[in-house]
């Protein structure tokens, strides 16, 4: 009970701080349609536009650093279709308060963007993860290109951030070392998880371990990996093995695993922002994207 009361107090404090921030700022939310081209695991080419939500603050200095923030992937197609427009409004507001412009794509096959499921990775026992993440990465890099051309964005200071499937996209981006990207943040990244049918037992986890090892061979930027002990998609151990493979292959990274939160710590990013925000802010200070507080 004491932990619950303390958690709610922390949440209330965070909301009050956000309210105070918004009272002195002019947070703007806009929508863009960005044309993209991707291929699915069968090599089929798909071209269409995706909806991108952009958050900024008129009071922040410009050109501002950029965050491209990717959503996850629900296990069921109906849930992916019903996602609506990806916004992550609480997290986006936090990043804007640190001085960033934030771009949140709704990728092909999800919500308002719609279209084919280009990020499918095959049967559970024989997942082909690499082309699925390449499809997500292609969309991310296109959004990055469009955003870096804006006058309010500093093209030399970008971070790729993602939750779940989007977290793996962030590490895939780090492996590509795209121009202007200086760091990547992975929240609960992985694939093939389904807490309803196989809690803490993702499909083909060894394939993901090999893939993260491949990413580590070419990733030269600092990365931050954030997980919880009670992640019902991936469990407490697989993420550590994935990170180990990444590091042993040469990737730069820091791994943080928080204790259990709620019934499923996989939702830490959206449900418990007060838990991860200090760790993320410290990382952004460390890589020189925001100033240290005094």
Dihedral sign (CA 195, 200, 202, 208)? positive
Q: What pLDDT, on a 0 to 100 scale, did the predictor assign at position 294?
A: 53
DSSP string of 231-244? -TTTTTTHHHHHHH
Cβ count within 10 A of residue 42: 10
Residue 90 has pLDDT above 70, yes or no: yes
Q: What pLDDT, on a 0 to 100 scale, did the predictor assign at position 293?
A: 62
Cβ count within 10 A of residue 218: 13
- H helices present in 24-128, as ranges: 77-81, 89-97
Average model confidence (pLDDT) for the chain?
93
Q: Which of 109, 72, 104 is nearest to 194 (CA)?
A: 72
Q: pLDDT digits over 96-153, tens only? A: 999 999 999 999 999 999 999 999 999 999 999 999 999 999 999 999 999 999 999 9
DSSP string of 111-165? TTT----TT----GGG--HHHHHHHHHHHHHHHHHHHHTSTTEEEEEEEEEEETH
Q: What pLDDT, on a 0 to 100 scale, did the predictor assign at position 26?
A: 75
Q: What pLDDT, on a 0 to 100 scale, did the predictor assign at position 2?
A: 42
The DSSP code for 75 is S
What is the C-alpha separation between 241 and 19, in angstroms, rounded?
39
The DSSP code for 293 is P
pTM for the model stands at: 0.91
What is the C-alpha separation between 179 and 158, in angstroms, rounded?
9
Residue 106 contacts by C-beta under 8 Å, 6 or more apart in sequence?
50, 51, 52, 53, 71, 83, 85, 86, 112, 113
- Confidence class of residue 14 from pLDDT cuts 50, 70 and 90? low
Dihedral sign (CA 210, 221, 258, 54)? negative
CA distances from 262 to 3, 139, 165, 270 (A): 11, 32, 20, 12
Q: Which domains are assigned to the chain?
A: 27-286 (3.40.50.1820)
Q: pLDDT digits over 215-244, tens only? A: 999 999 999 999 999 999 999 999 999 999
Q: Which of 112, 7, 89, 106 is nearest to 52 (CA)?
A: 106
Q: What pLDDT, on a 0 to 100 scale, did the predictor assign at position 291?
A: 76
Q: Which of 113, 60, 58, 104 is nearest to 83 (CA)?
A: 113
Query: pLDDT over 70 for what percent of the chain?
Result: 90
- Confidence class of residue 84 from pLDDT cuts 50, 70 and 90? very high
Residue 24 has pLDDT above 70, yes or no: no
What is the C-alpha separation between 87 and 93, in angstroms, rounded?
10
């Amino acid at each position: 009970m004491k932990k619950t009361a303390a958690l709610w107090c922390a949440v209330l404090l965070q909301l009050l701080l956000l309210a105070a921030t918004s009272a002195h700022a002019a947070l703007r939310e806009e929508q863009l349609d960005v044309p993209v081209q991707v291929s699915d695991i069968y090599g089929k080419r798909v071209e269409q536009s995706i909806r991108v939500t952009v958050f900024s603050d008129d009071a922040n200095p410009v050109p501002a650093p950029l965050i491209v923030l990717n959503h996850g992937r629900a296990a069921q197609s109906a849930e992916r279709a019903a996602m609506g427009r990806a916004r992550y409004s609480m997290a986006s507001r936090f990043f804007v308060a640190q001085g960033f412009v934030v771009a949140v794509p709704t990728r092909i096959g999800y919500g308002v963007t719609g279209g084919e499921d280009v990020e499918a990775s095959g049967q559970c026992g024989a997942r082909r993860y690499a082309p699925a993440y390449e499809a997500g990465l292609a969309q991310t890099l296109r959004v990055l290109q469009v955003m870096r051309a804006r006058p309010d964005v500093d093209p030399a200071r970008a971070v790729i951030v993602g939750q779940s499937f989007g977290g793996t996209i962030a590490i895939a981006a780090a492996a590509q070392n795209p121009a202007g990207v200086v760091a990547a943040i992975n929240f609960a990244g992985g694939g093939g998880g389904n807490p309803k049918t196989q809690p803490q037992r993702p499909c083909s986890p060894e394939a993901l371990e090999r893939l993260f090892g491949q990413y580590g061979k070419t990733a030269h930027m600092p990365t931050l990996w954030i997980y919880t002990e009670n992640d019902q998609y991936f469990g407490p151990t697989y993420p550590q093995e994935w990170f180990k493979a990444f590091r042993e292959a040469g990737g730069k990274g820091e791994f943080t695993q928080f204790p259990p939160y709620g019934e499923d710590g996989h939702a830490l990013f959206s449900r418990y922002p007060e838990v991860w925000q200090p760790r993320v802010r410290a990382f952004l200070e460390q890589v020189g994207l925001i100033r240290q507080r005094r």
